[in-house]
Structure 1
């Protein structure tokens, strides 16, 4: 299927990025789009009203959030069916990035154009100023609230050499750091908060030291964790290291060779270890 956004003059769903802190962090195109759509659907209508009042934009604002998204999607489709273009915004940043929006896109994209109006995104803002490698990176969003599931999610990411990026509430950030330390090791971590605001702050240390650091836990954080060293994994478990190298893109054969070199053993020993563990299941 090919979708072209601007060929037909059809009512359109616009995904409009809004400021993540400083109200000036909004594009001219975003302002223009807010002025031209018939109605704006917002995660928090109060926040959006403040933004639109600041720019003297008067449009109907309706609610679209995680708990009413099915009913709200029908309202969005009704507007589109009536020939009215619709804007979607979140509390801050870009719709569908750890915020409602993805499900609405799936509902609309095969019926009407869906156009993204790019702008601020917290994790990109934090990444480029963090001092950690900006590419490759893996953005995960919010980890699970429960410790066991959170650690399962982190374990699945443990073999990646990518900078890992998460969102977290301030009152849970120390718990998440403890899970990072337990599953990923004592890696370098950067915590970013109040981005683009007056008190924008970056905390930069190893996970263990940040756990002991006095952190202002108010608000939300971006957590950035350095990737695993790709030169040698050598966790002490040859089988696990083979699996991790396969996750990194090595073939099974090359992963076995790499682990044999890391451990200074014959590749047949590593191969036999893999066989005894049940092989590599992908």
Structure 2
């Protein structure tokens, strides 16, 4: 549930508490590490179908950015969500798929990402901001096992062997795992900051185990603000100093991690 702590002035001029959201912050400095993550303290129950959704804002993109891992002792990659600028990569029961997306992602912008699996139809569905990006036929031939949710890292083994080059730098909220297939309407409403579907087995409101990560409260209005379209310019290769000047001249900013270890 939202927590109080931010104030806004109402129509009558009286200050009123505005709703705030619990937000997880990972790798704010952008330096890649496999030591920054959050792990759920509860696990899911075995189920034939499942859904995992999250709202994210990227500070620094990796060659492939891993947002979440639903991982179990039976299969380290039950449901994993990865992103890049122009595609998403669902991983369900260790099967990998690339899906192009309708609009390129950008840093410092909130997006809603949802993956669902329908065991009866043997289909994986991927949603971005409530819009269906693709449906993949995939018969897992097994139920999802009891699993733990890890945020910010790609797990090659159960709760270990995290890969820093796929680690997440940014903020996460509206986290949820369900032991059923969410409908397209439920996903769309949630993406629009509407009702959160009932029946979550894992959510951000529960206790989490944090490692080089922290929670902050942000105004719900900030997280749910409408996005503005961006224009992308592809510049020719140039020295670092020249790129800073070029970006500044275009009215932008070039965020660069403070340590060279962050560079792929």
Shorter-chain TM band: under 0.3
**Larger helix fraction of residues:** 1
- Structure with the greater relative contact order (CA < 8 A, sep ≥ 6): 1 or 2? 2
**Larger strand fraction of residues:** 2
TM superposition score normalised by structure 1? 0.25
TM superposition score normalised by structure 2? 0.26
Which one has the largest radius of gyration? 1
